[in-house]
């Protein structure tokens, strides 16, 4: 008789009793999560805690979610995560009433699920040799899969498996190359990005292979949905493959895009025959959408808008709001991330129902999902650092009607929820102290450091070399210095927990003299051969004769294992403090090492420094080793170095300011 949805509940708390009513077991479960959240956060502790008032306020609550789909995806192929880690995340999802766990199980970089008919998928496809010679491995047995699925079901979470096709298939093709267009041999991809080698769409044996796999995987997952990927499938092999070209001709297809649609349609029939509904990334729209498909929109909202407008169900997961591998704060203060610019507030602000979808079709938006890709999430701890607390913002936007969302209210309540995460040993993100553009600040007379953080928490600091504690000096106004010092500063939560420490070295410098040399336009570029990795590997290197180039635009081929050295002069317009950054291996200014990324995985000019320079020309040497560190190639980085006077945006020196 309750007028409430299947996930809804009614909660009544009086001085004498607590009553939870719901139509369904999951409704009761969600009601009990609210009871737990009304209790002090220490209720989540593994051990008994004394001196806590175990009280709950008297309330009358009627509650149900805005969306039926409230999801999180975990990529276990770029970096593998074991069963215990997965269970830990399921526990937190359940606490916040999330109900779909999307498990990204196969890719170019690992195959992570046991297939008994094809044992080499686990034996070969789950072992990756990284560029530095280290081995990354991991897969789940079918018994472990069943264990996780059952664990999730106890928490009213449905597990959605993803088996990628027709692209992102190199791990499978390394084990069984006969299902590729070229026949191999292959190795698992040890660099990130998109792989050209995909399943051969012109070979019927490919579809038999995939059907066998699906017939083993599908019974392990009793939920409604099965995810087939369908994203980022290059057509280069299909365009060169006689079998694929014959398929295009025989099926009267227009091109390789329609061949992808043909491929997806064939797979959809297998999935439908097993009583499942197919999900794919928004690329499955290309060449014609399979009739029963649900679209997961990641390249912005456009795919979801198009699919919903066609009457298809959609799950919104646009990368600008929902990709948890994007950094949460300032690039100079945070650890590495694939991109930056996704603070907690931006995730919370997302509205899954775009106004561009006709109002009468907005019911096709099932909900939103956050995606935890793990190219740069090397450890379980860093994976959690990226995922939390933004996953809690996702949970709230999926549950709470748009008109009732309130970010200030959310952040106030979040302080309490973070204590609950502490009880579960979750390594969540705490906003870092931001403000200074570098971690080494040069000055000629004096300098002032101003700090802030994204949620206006208090900060504490020291200047004696020790790490700050909760009792350290509280930051209340900009810090003035006229002597050398190391500032160590951390953000402090209401619970007293501190963020990682940010260390700023403040250094007095005299202006570096400019050169009076006469110079010519352009800069010198040299190359040396060798399979090189570190700057020390260049000791005794034989460099080519210099080539004069106008700027840093030269981009080595991915397979080029050599190193490159730019030398020349750049010009600064006035005496002052200049900030520098580079994504290359080493930058020297007037013979002094200013930036060293030696052996580091670097993206987005995170390593920064400042120096005092006299007006005029200054010599530079810039080294780039075309290596692969942690799956990321130096050649993918921005070339050259960027600089700016104090307080300005860093930018590349203009070609007319570069000479030799």
Is the pLDDT at 58 greater than 90? The verdict is: yes
Concatenate the DSSP letters of all residues of 473-507 into one string.
Answer: EEP-SPEEESS-EEEEEEEB-TTS-BPPPEEEEEE
* Distance separating alpha carbons of residues 10 and 202, to the nearest angstrom: 56
pTM of the full predicted structure?
0.96
* Distance separating alpha carbons of residues 230 and 75, to the nearest angstrom: 15
Question: pLDDT value at position 362?
Answer: 96
Question: pLDDT value at position 538?
Answer: 95
Across the chain, mean pLDDT equals 96
Please name which of 374, 369, 325, 334 lies closest in space to residue 350, comparing C-alpha atoms: 369
- The CATH architecture one would assign to domain 440-508 is Sandwich (2.60)
Question: pLDDT value at position 554?
Answer: 84
Please name which of 189, 228, 231 lies closest in space to residue 211, comparing C-alpha atoms: 228
Question: pLDDT value at position 501?
Answer: 98
* Residue whose entry in the numeric block shows the structure tokens 């009607």: 401
Please name which of 487, 645, 636, 628 lies closest in space to residue 580, comparing C-alpha atoms: 645
Question: How large is the average pLDDT for residues 548-557?
Answer: 89
Percent of the chain at pLDDT > 70 equals 100
Q: Please give the sequence-ordered ranges of beta strands (E in DSSP) within 529-574, or none if there are none.
A: 547-549, 563-572
Question: pLDDT value at position 152?
Answer: 99
**The domain defined by 69-423 carries CATH number 3.20.20.80:** yes
**615 and 516 Cβ atoms separated by less than 8 Å:** no
pLDDT by residue (tens digit) across 605-626?
Answer: 788 999 999 999 999 999 999 9
Q: Report CA torsion sign: 394, 398, 400, 404.
A: positive
**E strand or H helix that includes residue 161:** strand 158-165
Is the pLDDT at 322 greater than 80? The verdict is: yes
**95 and 66 Cβ atoms separated by less than 8 Å:** no
Radius of gyration over every alpha carbon of the chain, rounded to an integer in angstroms: 28
* Residue whose entry in the numeric block shows the structure tokens 């789909």: 69
**The domain defined by 523-659 carries CATH number 3.90.182.10:** yes
* Distance separating alpha carbons of residues 445 and 481, to the nearest angstrom: 9
Domain residue spans of the chain: 9-63, 69-423, 440-508, 523-659
Residues noted as catalytic: 107, 168, 232
**E strand or H helix that includes residue 95:** helix 83-95
3-state secondary structure 366-418: EEEEEEECCCCCCCHHHHHHHHCCHHHHHHHHHHCCHHHCCHHHHHHHHHHHH
Q: Helix or strand or coil: residue 527?
A: strand
pLDDT by residue (tens digit) across 22-36?
Answer: 999 999 999 999 999
Judged by average pLDDT, the poorest of 93-102, 155-164, 175-184, 291-300 is 291-300
Other C-beta atoms lying within 10 Å of the C-beta of residue 197 = 21
Confidence of residue 660 (pLDDT cuts 50, 70, 90): very high
**164 and 107 Cβ atoms separated by less than 8 Å:** yes
* Distance separating alpha carbons of residues 130 and 134, to the nearest angstrom: 5
pLDDT by residue (tens digit) across 400-413?
Answer: 999 999 999 999 99
502's tokens: 């940010």
């Amino acid at each position: 008789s309750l007028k409430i949805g299947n996930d809804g509940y009614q909660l009544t708390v009086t001085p004498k009793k607590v009553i939870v009513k719901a139509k369904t077991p999951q409704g009761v479960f969600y009601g009990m999560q609210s009871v737990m959240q009304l209790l002090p956060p220490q209720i989540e502790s593994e051990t008994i805690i004394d001196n806590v008032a175990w009280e709950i306020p008297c309330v009358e609550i009627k509650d149900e979610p805005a969306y039926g789909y409230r999801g999180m995806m975990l990529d276990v192929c770029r970096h593998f995560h074991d069963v215990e880690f997965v269970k830990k995340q399921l526990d937190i999802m359940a606490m916040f009433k999330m109900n779909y766990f999307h498990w990204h199980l196969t890719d170019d970089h690992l195959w992570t699920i046991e297939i008994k008919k094809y044992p080499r998928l686990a034996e070969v496809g789950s072992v990756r040799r990284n560029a530095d010679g280290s081995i990354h491995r991991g897969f789940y047995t079918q018994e472990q899969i069943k264990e996780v699925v059952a664990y999730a079901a106890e928490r009213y979470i449905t597990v959605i498996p993803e088996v990628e096709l027709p692209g992102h298939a190199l791990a499978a093709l390394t084990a069984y190359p006969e299902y590729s267009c070229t026949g191999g041999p292959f190795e698992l991809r040890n660099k990130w990005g998109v792989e050209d080698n995909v399943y051969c769409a012109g070979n019927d044996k490919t579809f038999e292979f995939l059907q066998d796999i699906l017939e083993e995987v599908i019974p392990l997952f009793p939920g409604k949905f099965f995810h087939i990927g369908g994203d980022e499938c290059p057509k280069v092999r299909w365009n060169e493959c006689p079998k694929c070209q014959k398929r295009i001709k025989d099926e009267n297809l227009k091109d390789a895009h329609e061949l992808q649609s043909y491929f997806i349609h064939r797979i959809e029939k297998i999935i439908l025959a097993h009583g499942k509904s197919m999900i794919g990334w928004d690329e499955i729209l290309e060449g014609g959408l399979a009739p029963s498909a649900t679209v997961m929109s990641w390249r912005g909202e456009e795919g979801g808008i198009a699919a919903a407008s066609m009457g298809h169900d959609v799950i919104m997961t646009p990368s600008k709001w929902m990709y948890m591998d994007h950094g949460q704060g300032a690039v100079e203060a945070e650890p590495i991330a694939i991109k930056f610019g996704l603070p907690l507030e931006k995730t919370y602000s997302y509205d899954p129902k775009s106004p561009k979808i006709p109002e009468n079709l907005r019911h096709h938006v099932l909900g939103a999902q956050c995606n935890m890709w793990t190219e740069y999430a090397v450890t379980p701890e860093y994976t959690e650092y990226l995922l939390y607390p933004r996953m809690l913002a996702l949970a709230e936007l999926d549950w709470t009607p748009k008109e009732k969302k309130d970010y200030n209210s959310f952040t106030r309540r979040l302080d309490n929820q973070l204590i609950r995460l502490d009880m579960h040993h979750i390594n969540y993100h705490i906003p870092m102290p931001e403000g200074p553009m570098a971690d080494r600040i040069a000055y000629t007379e004096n300098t002032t450091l101003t700090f802030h953080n994204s949620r206006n928490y208090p900060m504490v600091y020291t200047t004696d070399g020790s790490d700050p504690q909760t009792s350290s000096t509280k930051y209340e106004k900009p810090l003035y210095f006229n002597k050398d010092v190391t500032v160590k500063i951390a953000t402090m939560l209401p619970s007293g927990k501190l963020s990682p420490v940010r260390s700023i070295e403040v250094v007095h410098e005299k202006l570096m003299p400019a050169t009076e040399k006469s110079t010519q336009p352009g800069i010198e570029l040299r190359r040396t051969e060798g399979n090189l990795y570190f700057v020390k590997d260049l000791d005794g290197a034989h460099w080519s004769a210099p080539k004069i180039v106008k700027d840093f635009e030269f981009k080595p081929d991915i397979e080029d294992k050599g190193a490159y050295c730019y030398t020349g002069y750049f010009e600064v317009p006035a005496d002052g403090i200049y900030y520098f950054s580079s994504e290359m291996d080493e930058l020297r200014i007037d013979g002094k090492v200013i930036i060293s990324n030696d052996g580091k995985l670097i993206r987005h000019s995170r390593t920064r420094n400042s120096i005092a320079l006299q007006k005029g020309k200054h010599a530079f040497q810039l080294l780039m080793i075309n290596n692969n560190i942690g799956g990321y190639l130096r050649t993918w980085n921005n070339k050259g170095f960027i600089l700016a006077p104090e307080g300005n945006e860093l930018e590349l020196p203009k070609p007319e300011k570069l000479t030799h």
